[in-house]
């Protein structure tokens, strides 16, 4: 109910400003007309808002902009949190942090990501970039392109996000900023053995040398974040092999089981940036930069698994009692003689991301030339180390999972007593390694011309070479000795059944499983491991031509750009193939394609100052297929009857990119400094949408029915966006420090996923309602901001496995930030993230009773910033 109220509040914000905007605009005009000019230095939140709007107003595309409030000070800890607040954008969460971005009703597959205009490699199996890897110290802002132009790197049907690092020669004099925070997680107090506090530090140094012709910037950050989570998960229902339990003649669908889980680990993140700018002459400007980010996750956790309640063909009917059956689903019951598994695990995951390049800008007569060489690398290594034990005796399990976050259960035995469980087995599932390498060269040339409405022409070419691969190994080890009960401890967690865990996980593991228990060296890969490995190569070249426009039409001036980009790509997927369970053998496949991407952007000035604008954009955009789905791997079954098709599952190295013909129209009124009232609409006609389905195809001359990703027909995405923001500088003091920023987006689509078959999900990423409100105050050294962001339910894929779609429930995230400038150099800060303790709720198979609920809790921070 609170989320619905907030949704209506966000909508109401756009009914209110009509009257007030005129008053404030008039006040601003009278101030500007004063005989004596007033010079005011604006910093902090107000400066960020003004700079972002100034960039948005001047752009020839429809964009959103994020500007740093000061050196090394973005509005949030990472750029992901800032992006998720923008109109039309939101984010899925990972470990309680904003991570992958969703835009205009489309998920991460439709988001293009660049750093200083350069495409980024990804430590995810597809192409999606985790934006939380970019801390505030390393970035000066971001530009989010909602309409396309020919000069933009292809790959963002929903939006293209360009992250920007600092430019040292734009500063005057040496700049140094340092900050330190203490983070506090109260949910850790509910979990025995969890850490509730952690540090975060960061800083940036900027300087200029040699008469301001040489500039350098260096930035760093480090955060030791507790990775804490409470989770209860339903495993789904036996849909077609259950039986009648209550005698009404109807089949009652029983659950496969459920589990609970607690994590109490560490998520250590660090990053470093180095950048050099050299103004070699008036006609040559050279830039070199490198960015590196590393994450090391080490999560200790415990689980209970309770299965054996699926009632396959009715074999457990006599054991069921206390039935709660709703719409044919058994959502609550007690079942006798059910087993229990306890898991004491460690999840380790190490990722690294590197991006760097060399850029040169040169003047040659009337031409401006630019050459850019870049590389981006990403790696990810992970391993699940699971000490698994089964209960020595079965018990009566009871549960009530009725949806709406209602999850109550009992395992019927003492789960915190190690004497109740048998000998352990160590499962390493899986030891996985991913690698992504992307190299590119980008060449452009532009010159001013006077040819009617065309005032500038630009030509360019880009060449890329990308290779991504994944391999894994799984194994399990039986003990060679017995662990005494004294090696365990009981872990108690508020609201959950107690767990058993090793007091010293590694010492105990090495003592009974051997010193190399977690070492993959020399271990054979299982058949599934071989079939899970893959490699994809992709080479692409693109050329473009673009004209910048500035003219008049029907008494109205306009500006913008028109152009075309032509892209040619060849791709090869490799993997392993198994036929009827035979030893896997190598298999490859691939395709190539050429796409023509025209674009047009026009901004019509409705007044002399261009404060009132009508913006129009039209383009064809593309988003390439997820790299992991372009693998050639396949697992085939052969029917002895040649008339019957082959069956199985596979990747698809012949996937083509998804395309969108799109139109944008918006009215924007910049009625004062830091003030905007905007209403817009967008339409995207998406073709070749990629979804997983049973594909009728031909393999080795024989008909086949294969479950894999294919290019489908697509459909429409429609939406409206409303924006209102204003700094109330016309109010009497001290209220002249107030400001508001609000946005609301409504999106619909007729695109459906291919699963579940009986009731398919809407397109991944579709949020019907999405918006936010932020109130801020800045005056006399005080800063305050409280923001609330809401989105309705949307479909996402939070796992590594393609096609594992779930419905992420509606959420409202509230954040509070306070700061006081104690001196010209020293500031103290306090903040609370997830102020209302919003939980994350997943619903699987479009079944409201099949829920997974996770709780990450609130996060408090107390910090200081020092600027020299």
Model confidence pLDDT, tens digit, residues 552-570: 988 899 999 999 999 999 9
CA 739 to the chain's CA centroid: 29
Lowest mean pLDDT among 33-37, 64-68, 310-314, 375-379: 33-37
Mean pLDDT of 808-833: 96
Cα–Cα dist 461/445, whole Å: 9
Q: What is the DSSP string of 477-530?
A: E--SS---GGGEEEE-BTTS--EEEESSHHHHHHHHH-TTTT--TTPPPPHHHH
Given a cut of 80, whether residue 71 has pLDDT beyond it is no
Mean pLDDT of 123-143: 91
pLDDT band of residue 6 (cuts 50, 70, 90) is: very low
pLDDT band of residue 643 (cuts 50, 70, 90) is: confident
pLDDT at 3: 53
Q: 338: alpha, beta or left, given left = phi > 0 and alpha = psi -120 to 50? A: beta
Neighbour-count burial of 858, counting CB atoms closer than 10 A to its CB (0-12 exposed, 13-18 middle, 19+ buried): middle
Mean pLDDT of 193-213: 96
Q: Which long-range contacts (CB under 8 A, 24 or more apart) does 844-848 make?
A: 844/234, 844/236, 844/806, 844/807, 845/236, 845/237, 845/756, 846/756, 846/759, 846/760, 846/761, 846/807, 847/236, 847/237, 847/329, 848/403, 848/404
pLDDT at 32: 37
Report residue 448 as tokens.
């001013």
Cα–Cα dist 756/78, whole Å: 35
- Using one digit for the tens of pLDDT, what is the confidence trace for 751-770? 999 888 788 999 999 999 99
Instruction: Choose among 218, 220, 186: nearest CA to 200.
Output: 220
- Using one digit for the tens of pLDDT, what is the confidence trace for 95-118? 888 889 999 999 999 999 999 999
Given a cut of 70, whether residue 249 has pLDDT beyond it is yes
pLDDT at 700: 85
pLDDT at 193: 94
Given a cut of 90, whether residue 346 has pLDDT beyond it is yes
Residues ≥6 apart with Cβ < 8 Å to 562: 546, 547, 549, 599, 600, 601
Given a cut of 70, whether residue 4 has pLDDT beyond it is no
Mean pLDDT of 249-263: 96
pLDDT at 23: 37
pLDDT band of residue 486 (cuts 50, 70, 90) is: very high
Contact between 658 and 157 (Cβ < 8 Å): yes
Residues ≥6 apart with Cβ < 8 Å to 607: none
- Using one digit for the tens of pLDDT, what is the confidence trace for 491-529? 999 999 999 999 999 999 999 999 999 999 999 999 999
pLDDT band of residue 72 (cuts 50, 70, 90) is: confident
What is the percent of the chain with per-residue pLDDT over 70, rounded to a whole number? 95
CA 306 to the chain's CA centroid: 32
Given a cut of 50, whether residue 309 has pLDDT beyond it is yes
Given a cut of 50, whether residue 24 has pLDDT beyond it is no
Neighbour-count burial of 454, counting CB atoms closer than 10 A to its CB (0-12 exposed, 13-18 middle, 19+ buried): middle
Mean pLDDT of 804-824: 95
Cα–Cα dist 141/72, whole Å: 10
- What does pLDDT average to over the chain? 93
344-to-195, 259, 411, 496 alpha-carbon distances in Å: 18, 13, 17, 15
Neighbour-count burial of 235, counting CB atoms closer than 10 A to its CB (0-12 exposed, 13-18 middle, 19+ buried): middle
Number of Cα atoms under 13 Å in the Cβ half of residue 536 = 29
Report residue 613 as tokens.
């604008």
pLDDT band of residue 40 (cuts 50, 70, 90) is: very low
Residues ≥6 apart with Cβ < 8 Å to 29: none
pLDDT band of residue 42 (cuts 50, 70, 90) is: low
pLDDT at 356: 98
pLDDT at 600: 98
- Using one digit for the tens of pLDDT, what is the confidence trace for 299-308? 999 999 999 8
- Using one digit for the tens of pLDDT, what is the confidence trace for 164-180? 999 999 999 999 999 99
Q: Is the pTM of this model over 0.85?
A: yes
Cα–Cα dist 617/721, whole Å: 15
Given a cut of 50, whether residue 483 has pLDDT beyond it is yes
pLDDT at 652: 96
pLDDT band of residue 212 (cuts 50, 70, 90) is: very high
């Amino acid at each position: 109910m609170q989320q619905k109220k907030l949704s209506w509040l966000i909508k109401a914000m756009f009914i209110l400003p009509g009257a007030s905007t005129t008053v404030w605009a008039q006040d601003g005009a009278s101030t500007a007309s004063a005989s004596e000019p007033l010079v005011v230095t604006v910093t902090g939140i107000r400066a960020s808002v003004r700079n972002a709007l100034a960039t948005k107003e001047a752009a020839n595309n429809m964009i959103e902009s994020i500007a740093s409030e000061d050196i090394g000070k973005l509005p949030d800890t990472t750029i992901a949190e800032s992006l998720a607040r923008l109109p039309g954008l939101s984010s899925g969460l990972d470990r309680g942090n904003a991570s992958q971005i969703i835009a205009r009703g489309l998920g991460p597959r439709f988001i293009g990501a660049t750093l200083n205009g350069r495409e980024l490699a990804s430590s995810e199996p597809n192409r999606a970039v985790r934006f939380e890897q970019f801390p505030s110290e390393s970035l000066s802002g971001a530009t989010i392109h909602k309409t396309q132009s020919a000069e933009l790197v292809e790959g963002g049907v929903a939006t293209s996000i360009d992250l920007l690092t600092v430019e040292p020669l734009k500063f005057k004099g040496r700049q140094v900023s340092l900050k330190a925070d203490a983070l506090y997680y109260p949910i850790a107090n509910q979990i025995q053995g969890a850490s509730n506090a952690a540090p975060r530090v960061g800083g940036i140094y900027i300087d200029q040398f040699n008469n301001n012709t040489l500039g350098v910037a260096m930035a760093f950050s480090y955060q030791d974040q507790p990775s804490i989570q409470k989770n209860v998960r339903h495993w789904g229902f036996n849909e077609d092999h259950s039986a009648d339990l209550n005698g009404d003649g109807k089949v009652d669908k029983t659950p496969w089981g459920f589990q609970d889980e607690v994590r109490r680990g560490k998520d250590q993140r660090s990053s470093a940036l180095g950048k050099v700018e050299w103004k070699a002459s008036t006609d040559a400007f050279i830039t070199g930069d490198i960015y590196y980010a590393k994450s090391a996750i080490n999560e200790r956790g415990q689980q209970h698994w309770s299965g054996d309640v699926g009632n396959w063909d009715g074999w457990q009917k006599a054991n069921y009692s206390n039935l709660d059956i709703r719409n044919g689903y058994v959502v609550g019951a007690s079942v006798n003689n059910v087993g229990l598994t306890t898991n004491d695990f460690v999840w380790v995951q190490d990722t690294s991301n590197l991006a760097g390049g060399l850029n040169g800008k040169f003047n040659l007569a009337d031409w401006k030339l630019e050459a850019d060489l870049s590389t981006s690398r990403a790696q990810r290594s992970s391993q699940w180390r699971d000490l698994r034990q089964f209960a020595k005796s079965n018990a009566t399990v009871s549960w009530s999972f009725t949806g709406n976050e209602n999850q109550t259960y009992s395992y019927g035995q003492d789960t915190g007593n190690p004497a109740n469980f048998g000998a352990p087995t160590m499962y390493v599932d899986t030891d996985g390694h991913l690698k992504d390498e992307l190299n590119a060269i980008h060449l452009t040339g532009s010159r001013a011309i006077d040819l009617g409405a065309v005032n500038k022409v630009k030509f360019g070419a880009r060449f890329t070479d990308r290779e991504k691969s994944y391999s894994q190994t799984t194994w399990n080890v039986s003990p060679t000795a017995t662990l005494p009960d004294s090696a365990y401890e009981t872990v108690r967690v508020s609201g959950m059944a107690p767990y058993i865990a090793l007091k010293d996980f590694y010492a105990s593991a090495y003592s009974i499983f051997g010193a190399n228990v977690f070492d993959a060296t020399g271990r054979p890969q299982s058949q599934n491991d071989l079939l899970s490995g893959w490699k994809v190569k992709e080479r692409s070249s693109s050329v473009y031509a673009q004209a910048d426009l500035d003219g008049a039409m029907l008494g109205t001036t306009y500006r913008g750009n028109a152009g075309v980009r032509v892209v040619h790509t060849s791709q090869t997927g490799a993997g392993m193939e198994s036929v009827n369970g035979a030893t896997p053998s190598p298999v490859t496949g691939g395709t190539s394609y050429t796409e023509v991407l025209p674009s047009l952007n026009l901004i019509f000035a409705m007044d002399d100052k261009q404060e009132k604008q009508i913006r129009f954009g039209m383009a064809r955009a593309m988003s390439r297929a997820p790299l992991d789905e372009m693998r050639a791997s396949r697992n085939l079954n052969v029917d002895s009857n040649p008339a019957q098709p082959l069956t199985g599952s596979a990747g698809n190295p012949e996937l083509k990119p998804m395309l969108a013909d799109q139109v944008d129209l918006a009215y924007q009124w910049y009625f004062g400094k830091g003030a905007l009232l905007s209403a817009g609409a967008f339409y995207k006609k998406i073709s070749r949408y990629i979804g997983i389905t049973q594909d009728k195809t031909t393999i080795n001359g024989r008909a086949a029915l294969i479950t894999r990703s294919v290019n489908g027909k697509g459909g429409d995405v429609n939406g409206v966006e409303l924006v209102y923001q204003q700094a109330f500088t016309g109010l009497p003091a001290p209220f002249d420090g107030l400001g508001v920023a609000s946005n609301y987006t409504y999106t619909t689509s007729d695109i459906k996923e291919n699963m579940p078959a009986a009731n398919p999900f809407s397109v991944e990423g579709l949020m019907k309602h999405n918006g936010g409100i932020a109130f801020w105050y800045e005056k006399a050294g005080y800063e305050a901001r409280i923001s609330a962001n809401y989105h309705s339910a949307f479909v996402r894929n939070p796992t590594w496995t393609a096609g594992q779609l779930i419905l992420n429930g509606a959420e409202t995230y509230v954040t509070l930030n306070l700061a006081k400038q104690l001196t010209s150099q020293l500031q103290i800060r306090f903040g609370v993230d997830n102020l209302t303790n919003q939980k994350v709720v997943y619903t699987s198979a479009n079944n409201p009773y099949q829920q997974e609920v996770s709780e990450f809790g609130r996060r408090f921070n107390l910090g200081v910033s020092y600027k020299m």
